[in-house]
Homo-oligomer: A and B are copies of this chain.
Amino acid sequence: VAAVQIASPAIAQSAPEIKWRLASSFPKSLDTIYGAAETVANRVAAATDGKFQIRVFAAGEIVPGFQVLDAVQNATVEIGHSASYYFVGKDPTFAFDTAVPFGLNARQQNAWMYYGGGLELMREFFKDYSIYQIPCGNTGAQMGGWFRKEIKTVEDLNGLKFRVGGFAGKVLAKLGVVPQQIPGGDIYPALEKGTIDAAEWVGPYDDEKLGFNKVAQFYYYPGWWEGGPQLSVYVNQAQWDSLPKTYQAILEAACGEANGLMLAKYDAQNMPALRRLVQGGTKLKPFSKEVMEAAYKAAFEVYDETASSNPKFKKVYDAWKPFREEQYLWFRVAENSFDNFVYAKSAQKS
């Protein structure tokens, strides 16, 4: 009996019952980007026999989509799921945790985060917000969004009220755009009412669900401001520190798994959605070379300006920029030559 009495408290301590509330920045209708948090919650519950439960709340249920960072920092909720570039108004350095224009694609973002020093830099940055950050999801290269009129030249962007996520707003402002930050669930009514002229969200699968094709005809690509945007889980640092090591390991593994699963889900589901959209009258258009070149120039001007006035941004940018160049060099060898060959062969047939 003595042995049992000693063993029981030890077991209770190592596998306590914990219930957390997760605030997502995304609407429940999006099974991809909102669904990643549920993927994590389900895995964590299964791995702990239901002892560690994370209940996922959509944007607006506990806090609005753009207040998820504050809610975790203030311990209104224990955990959140968001795109860090929503918070560039607090500090543009947040953008590196998601995507910056003409930056890394999804694989390159993972390479930077996990083995290129990115995670260490971002976790150091997030300490100022009392948050432990874990990469959790990626959309892949996004579409450039929905426009009511054609965008052929840089002049066509002048005065355009465009809903666009993250740091891209600063780049587009240089080209005359009036950028608008609007959470995913609120974009459609703004576009419908004409409060905005154009809007981007993610890609065909999500955009079809949000109904943008009903109120705008031209669908541009690529979303050059987010070639591989990462989503992140935020854990309040005190809550993280209070977790048993086993639960920490399970939560990190579940986020690592969900990081790949979200991307795979988008990749599997985007093409059928795009086909439906085009069949329904959507006009698919590439951004013109003029627009792309002007945006590229503007982007690196913004980076240099920001780095010159923000030491935190500069620290990350100075590490990120050469890593990006190395990634591009490598991907141009085997990966891009494989992709370009098979896509060209496939296009010959179709």
Contact = CB atoms under 8 A, between A and B. Distances in A.
A339 B105 contact: yes
Given A250-B250, A343-B336, A264 B49 contact: no
A48 interface: yes
Interface residues of A, number: 85
Contacts of A121: none
A102 interface: yes
A286 B334 CA distance: 9
A329 B203 contact: no
Interface centre among A203, A272, A330 (most CB of B within 10 A): A330
Interface stretch (A16-24, A186-194, A252-260): A252-260
Contact of A111 (B111, B116, B268, B347): B268
Contact of A140 (B1, B107, B332): B107
A337 to B, nearest CB: 5
A186 to B, nearest CB: 24
Nearest to A257: B256
Contacts of A264: 107, 110-111, 113-115
Interface string A329-347: 1111111111111110111
Interface string A250-285: 101110110111011101111110100000000010
Contact of A107 (B48, B112, B245, B267): B267
B345 A110 contact: no
Nearest to A265: B115
Interface stretch (A6-14, A65-73, A82-90): A6-14
B256 A260 contact: yes
B257 A341 contact: no
Contacts of A268: 111-112, 114-116
Contact of A7 (B8, B43, B261): B8
A284 B116 CA distance: 25
Q: Copy number in this complex? A: 2
Interface in A301-329: 325-329
A128 B80 CA distance: 43
Contacts of A47: 47, 246, 249-250, 253
A271 B333 CA distance: 10
A141 B339 CA distance: 9
Contact of A335 (B43, B114, B140, B330): B140
B345 A102 contact: yes
Given A107-B264, A268-B111, A346-B328, A221 B337 contact: yes
A249 B46 contact: yes
A53 B46 CA distance: 19
Contacts of A270: 330
A77 B48 CA distance: 26
A267 B111 contact: yes
Contact of A245 (B46, B252, B342, B346): B46
A52 to B, nearest CB: 11
B340 A328 contact: no
A129 interface: no
